[in-house]
C-alpha cells in the first residue's frame, strides 16, 4: 500500500494526488510553506489527511524556526497552515493540538520542543490509521450483504493516513466476508472518484464501477444500491454534514429512493461549536478546475464559472454517522455530544 504522507529526515513526503493514477510521483516538502502550498494545491487532500499534513507542517516549521523568535514564528507557521483551506475542520483541530503540545513544551529547550512536535505529528498519523480501522469495524455491520455500495469523492487511504473512512467501512465489510461491490462517482471537477477511489479499490481487488456524478440518481433509483457511504469535512453539532460538492444531491436522492445514507468520519471532524451546517464556510476553488481537465479546455473561453468545493447535507438526510467511538443516529445534537464526551473507543 502506498503511503499518503510520511515524516522523513528529508522532510514531509507526500504522494502527489493531482497526478494519480497516471503517475506515482512523490513530493518532498522541505519547509512548512511547501506543506501549506501542497495542501492548497491538493497534492494532499481529504479532511483527515490534511489534518496530518498540517501537524507535520507545524513540526517542520518549528524545526526550521529561529530559536530567538520562536513564539512569533510558531504563530506565523500555524496561521499560514490554517489559511490553506477553510472547510475541513480536521485541519484546525490538528493545528490546535499542536499548539497545546507547544504550550506544554515551551519552557524546555528548543530541541525538546522540536522533538515533542515531531513526535506528536507522527502520533496523529498513527492514531488516524487506528481510528479508521475502528470506523470500519463500527460501519461494516451496516453494509448490506450482496448489494452495491455507492460512494463519492475519495474517503479512502489517500484521504487519510491510511485505510480510509468511507472506504474503511467498505474494506472492513469485505474483510468481514460480505460480497459487495462499489459504485464510485467520478467527482468533478477534481475527479477524486475516477482518479483515486477506483484506483484504491482496484489495488485491493474490490469490484468497483466508475460512473459520472449525474448517473448517481439512475443507480439509486434502480434498486441496486444497498447503501451510500461518504466521508465528511466538517459535521456541525446538529448533524449537518459538509462534504465534497455533490454529497447533498446523493443524500436527497438516497432518501427519495429509501437507500440508507451513511457518513463515516473521525470524532475530530465534529465541530460542536457550530450549531448547524449553515455556518460552515464553503471553499470556492479556481475556475480552471471546471473549465479544464488535465489542462485540456472543455468550455469556451471567458465563460463564468462557479466552483464551490463542498456542500452541506442537512441532518434529516443522514441515516447515521459512523465514528471510531460508535454510530450516532438522530437526534444528533445528543448522540454526537455523547460521542465527544466518551473517551473510550467503542467497538460495536
Query: Nearest-CA neighbor of 270 among 345, 193, 325, 347?
Result: 325
Out of 233, 240, 271, 311, the active site residue is 233
Do 120 and 101 form a contact (C-beta atoms < 8 A)? yes
- Footprint of its own copies on this chain (CB under 8 A)? 21-22, 152, 183, 185-189, 191, 194-195, 198-199, 202, 207-219, 221, 245-246, 248-249, 252-253, 256, 290-291, 293-294, 296-300, 302-308, 311
Nearer to its own copies, 214 or 342 (CB): 214
Residues 6+ apart with CB under 8 A from 304: none
Rounded to whole angstroms, the Cα distance separating 197 from 157 reads: 9
Nearer to its own copies, 169 or 312 (CB): 312
Rounded to whole angstroms, the Cα distance separating 332 from 235 reads: 10
Nearer to its own copies, 142 or 242 (CB): 242
The CB-of-246 to its own copies minimum distance in angstroms stands at 3
- 233 included as an active-site residue: yes
The CB-of-152 to its own copies minimum distance in angstroms stands at 8
- In order, the DSSP letters of 281-298 are --PBPPTHHHHEETTEE-
Nearer to its own copies, 120 or 186 (CB): 186
User: Residue 171 CA to chain centroid, in angstroms?
Assistant: 16
Do 328 and 321 form a contact (C-beta atoms < 8 A)? yes
Quote the longest CA-to-CA distance of the chain: 65
End-to-end Cα spacing for the chain = 27
The CB-of-191 to its own copies minimum distance in angstroms stands at 5
Nearer to its own copies, 13 or 215 (CB): 215
Rounded to whole angstroms, the Cα distance separating 24 from 4 reads: 11
308: which DSSP letter?
B
CB atoms closer than 10 angstroms to residue 208: 21
Q: In the numeric block, which cell numbers belong to residue 184?
A: 464510485
The CB-of-259 to its own copies minimum distance in angstroms stands at 13
The CB-of-122 to its own copies minimum distance in angstroms stands at 30
The CB-of-248 to its own copies minimum distance in angstroms stands at 5
Nearest-5° angle of CA 318, CA 321, CA 327?
130
- In order, the DSSP letters of 241-264 are EEEETTHHHHHHHHHHTT--EEEE
Q: In the numeric block, which cell numbers belong to residue 221?
A: 433509483
Nearer to its own copies, 304 or 343 (CB): 304
Residues with a catalytic annotation lie at 233
Amino acid at each position: 500500500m502506498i503511503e499518503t504522507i510520511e515524516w522523513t529526515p528529508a522532510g514531509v513526503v507526500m504522494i502527489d494526488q493531482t497526478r494519480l493514477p497516471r503517475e506515482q510521483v512523490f513530493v518532498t516538502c522541505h519547509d512548512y510553506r511547501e506543506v501549506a502550498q501542497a495542501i492548497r494545491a491538493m497534492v494532499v487532500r481529504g479532511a483527515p489527511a490534511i489534518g496530518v499534513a498540517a501537524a507535520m507542517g507545524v513540526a517542520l516549521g518549528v524545526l526550521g524556526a529561529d530559536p530567538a523568535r520562536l513564539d512569533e514564528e510558531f504563530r506565523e507557521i500555524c496561521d499560514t497552515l490554517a489559511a490553506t483551506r477553510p472547510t475541513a475542520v480536521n485541519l484546525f483541530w490538528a493545528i490546535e493540538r499542536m499548539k497545546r503540545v507547544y504550550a506544554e513544551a515551551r519552557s524546555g529547550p528548543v530541541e525538546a520542543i522540536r522533538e515533542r512536535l515531531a513526535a506528536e505529528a507522527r502520533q496523529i498519523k498513527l492514531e488516524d490509521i487506528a481510528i479508521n480501522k475502528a470506523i470500519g469495524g463500527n460501519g461494516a455491520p451496516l453494509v448490506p450483504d450482496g448489494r452495491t455500495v455507492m460512494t463519492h469523492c475519495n474517503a479512502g487511504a489517500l484521504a487519510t493516513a491510511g485505510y480510509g473512512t468511507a472506504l474503511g467501512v467498505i474494506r472492513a465489510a469485505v474483510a468481514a466476508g460480505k460480497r459487495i461491490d462499489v459504485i464510485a462517482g467520478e467527482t468533478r471537477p477534481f475527479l477524486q472518484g475516477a482518479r483515486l477511489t477506483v484506483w484504491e479499490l482496484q489495488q485491493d481487488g474490490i469490484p468497483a464501477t466508475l460512473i459520472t456524478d449525474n448517473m448517481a440518481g439512475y443507480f439509486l433509483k434502480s434498486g441496486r444500491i444497498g447503501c451510500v457511504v461518504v466521508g465528511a469535512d466538517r459535521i456541525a453539532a446538529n448533524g449537518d454534514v459538509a462534504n465534497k460538492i455533490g454529497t447533498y444531491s446523493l443524500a436527497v436522492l438516497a432518501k427519495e429512493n429509501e437507500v440508507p445514507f451513511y457518513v463515516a468520519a473521525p470524532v475530530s471532524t465534529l465541530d460542536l461549536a457550530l450549531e448547524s451546517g449553515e455556518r460552515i464556510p464553503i471553499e470556492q476553488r479556481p475556475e480552471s478546475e471546471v473549465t479544464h481537465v488535465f489542462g485540456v479546455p472543455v468550455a469556451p473561453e471567458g465563460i463564468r464559472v462557479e466552483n464551490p468545493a463542498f456542500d452541506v447535507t442537512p441532518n434529516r438526510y443522514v441515516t447515521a454517522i459512523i465514528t471510531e467511538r460508535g454510530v450516532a443516529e438522530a437526534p444528533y445534537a445528543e448522540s454526537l455530544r455523547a460521542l465527544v464526551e466518551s473517551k473510550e473507543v467503542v467497538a460495536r
